Amino acid sequence: MAVRSLQEIVVPLVTALLEKRYQFALAHRKADAPKKAYPKDITFKALAEKYGVSPRTLNRWYTGEVKSTRNTKSVSKLTRAAQKEIKSSRAKLSRAGKHIAKQSLKIITHVERLKFQHGRPTWRVHTLGWKHKEITDFILSMAQEKDKKYEFLLTIWNPQLYPDQAKSGGFISSGWTSTRGKWTKDMLHRWILREHLSRGEIQAIIFTSNK
C-alpha cells in the first residue's frame, strides 16, 4: 500500500463507521417513533478511543486540518485497519466489472454491498473526501461496462435546503441515472458539476445492474 496522508488513512475507517450507522438507522426506522440512539460502539468517540486518540484529534486528521503527528503508535494501528478496510472494499467491487475493478485500485473509502428488493447486485461507494475528478472517473468506469448497463444515483449533502432557515441541512438524492448512452469524460465532468456539485457535497454513489 502506498504511503497515505493522515486524512487518507482515516477516511476509509470513518466511512465504514458511517455505513454501520446507516444500517442501524435503517433497521430501527419506524414511522412516528422517536429516533433510537446509536449504540456506543458505533459512535465517533468509540472509533477514536479504539485507536488511542481523542475524537477532536481524529476529526482534525479526517478533515485534513492536521497533516502530521508524532503519535506513530496510533497511526500504525489506523494504517493497518485502513489497509484491511480498503482491501475488503476493493474485493466487493471485483465482480462489478473489469473497468470498475481497475478504478477501485484508486479507491480510499468504504464500499457496501446492499440488499435491494429487486435482488440485483447493488453497491454503495462512500465518496467523502473525493475530488471532482475522482467522482467522474468512477462513474465513467461504470459507463464503460457495456454488458452491465448500470444505473446509479448520488447521495448529496445540501448544507442549506431552506434559505430562510439558519440550519436546514439535509441529504438529497440525484435520482436514478442510466450509464447507457454516449457519456464522455468531459460531458460527465460538466454534468456532475452543474447538476449536482452545485447543490452540495456528493457523499456516496449507489449503483446497480438492471440485469
- Please tell me the predicted confidence (pLDDT) of residue 29: 74
How far, in Å, CA of 108 to CA of 9, rounded? 8
Contacts of 26 (CB under 8 A, 6+ apart): none
pLDDT of residue 32: 64
Question: In the 8-state DSSP scheme, what is residue 39?
Answer: P
pLDDT of residue 111: 95
Stretches where the chain sits below pLDDT 70 are: 1-3, 30-33, 162-166, 168, 210-211
- Note the pLDDT of residue 168: 67
pLDDT at residue 83, rounded to an integer: 94
Give the pLDDT confidence of 98-138 residue by residue, as tens digits: 999 999 998 888 999 998 777 788 999 999 889 999 999 99
- If you search the block for the grid coordinates 446497480, which residue do you land on? 208
pTM of the prediction? 0.88
